[in-house]
Amino acid sequence: MLQWRTYARVMALPAPNPDRTCLVTGASSGIGEEIAGQLAGRGLGVTLVARSEAKLQALAEQLATRHGVRAEVIVADLTDETSRNRIAEVIDDRGLQVNVLVNNAGFSTMGPVSRSDPAAEVAMVRTDVEAVAHLCSIFLPGMVERRSGAVLNVASTAAFQPLPGQAGYGACKAFVLSYSHALRGELRSTGVTVTVLCPGPVETGFAKAAGISDAEAAEAMPRFMWVPAGAVAKAGVDGMDANRAVVIPGMANRVSAAAGWLSPRSVLVPMVAKRHPSLHKWAAVRAAPAGCPRLSSLRAPLRRLRFALCNA
């Protein structure tokens, strides 16, 4: 019993320390903003990373005032390797060490790959995959050397199945899930933990921003599967503190992830393709006769669908 208690204490979130910080990417809104608030609420200093300086500064001031923690801001474009390297340089210049890394930043393209924007597809892979691996390789050595640290990688329930209509996004999140499991195996007995957070649909206004109506979103994903961003963030931080390997907020999403993982692809993939709202819109475009007014009315939402900010 004593041995179990020691293990549990070592594997929990690191204790607050004035020269340590929790690095949170994609912290300007949504799940990332909520995770930063959860960490600051536990007395941990935070370093907020995103491209929107004004939003980050406002959040940093709010967290510092409310929780009395050191809240730093670093503006960075995670699609750019030089910008990612600069994050480590700035943290070092400020006399800080990263003891919690939250790889939350990510976005999704939508629609069929055959009609995709190549630049957007590459940017998605650089943000959702390359940045995760790069930041882990930068900050994990220090955590292992200090024998203390925690990593929270944000994936999605899309990681458990192919996702026609968001093919690249689903594949990116499958990488994050597999990568996190592998890291966890490598880091056993080092004092460093790895948790992967796999939310389902999240209430952050994503559907509206992507050009999908509430009715279309509800048809593809029933309302009982949707979870508020704050609840997702709390589940992720609680899971990281408890050294859980995988966190899937919401019972319905846990069932859905298990079904997606176990279902034969020959049955699952056509079913998903039939229900995905972005593929519905492209099908309508293909079916529209030349000069049809319906075609022009769909162009604007389809452009938003091709490069939409994603929750996870």
Domains along the chain with CATH numbers: 2-306 (3.40.50.720)
% of the chain at pLDDT higher than 90: 68
Question: Cα–Cα distance between 294 and 286 in angstroms, integer?
Answer: 11
Instruction: Say whether 311 sits in a helix, a strand or coil.
Output: coil
| 8 Å CB contact between 107 and 83 | no
Split at pLDDT 50, 70, 90, the class of 303 is very low
Instruction: Say whether 119 sits in a helix, a strand or coil.
Output: helix
- CA 84-197-113 angle, to 5 degrees, is 70
Per annotation, catalytic residue among 169, 179, 206, 282: 169
Burial of 120 (0-12, 13-18, 19+ CB in 10 A): middle
User: Residue 225 gets which letter from DSSP?
Assistant: G
- Show the tokens assigned to 269: 């993939």
User: Residue 178 gets which letter from DSSP?
Assistant: H
Average pLDDT of the residues of the chain: 86
* pLDDT higher than 60, residue 285: no
* pLDDT higher than 50, residue 232: yes
Q: Is 7 a catalytic residue?
A: no
User: Residue 210 gets which letter from DSSP?
Assistant: T
Burial of 152 (0-12, 13-18, 19+ CB in 10 A): buried
What's the average model confidence in pLDDT over 113-137? 97
What's the average model confidence in pLDDT over 289-306? 46
* pLDDT higher than 50, residue 7: no
For residues 209 and 48, which has the higher predicted lDDT (pLDDT)?
48
Q: Which residues pair with 47 in a beta bridge?
A: 23, 72
* pLDDT higher than 70, residue 28: yes
Q: Which residues contact 117 (CB under 8 A, 6 or more apart)?
A: 109, 306, 307
For residues 309 and 141, which has the higher predicted lDDT (pLDDT)?
141
* pLDDT higher than 80, residue 114: yes
Q: Which residues pair with 100 in a beta bridge?
A: 22, 150
Question: Cα–Cα distance between 233 and 24 in angstroms, integer?
Answer: 12
Residue matched to tokens 């079916």: 287
| 8 Å CB contact between 31 and 232 | yes
Burial of 86 (0-12, 13-18, 19+ CB in 10 A): middle
Q: Which residues contact 194 (CB under 8 A, 6 or more apart)?
A: 150, 151, 153, 180, 183, 184, 187, 245
Least trusted range by pLDDT, from 79-88, 104-113, 186-195, 286-295: 286-295
Least trusted range by pLDDT, from 82-96, 163-177, 248-262, 274-288: 274-288
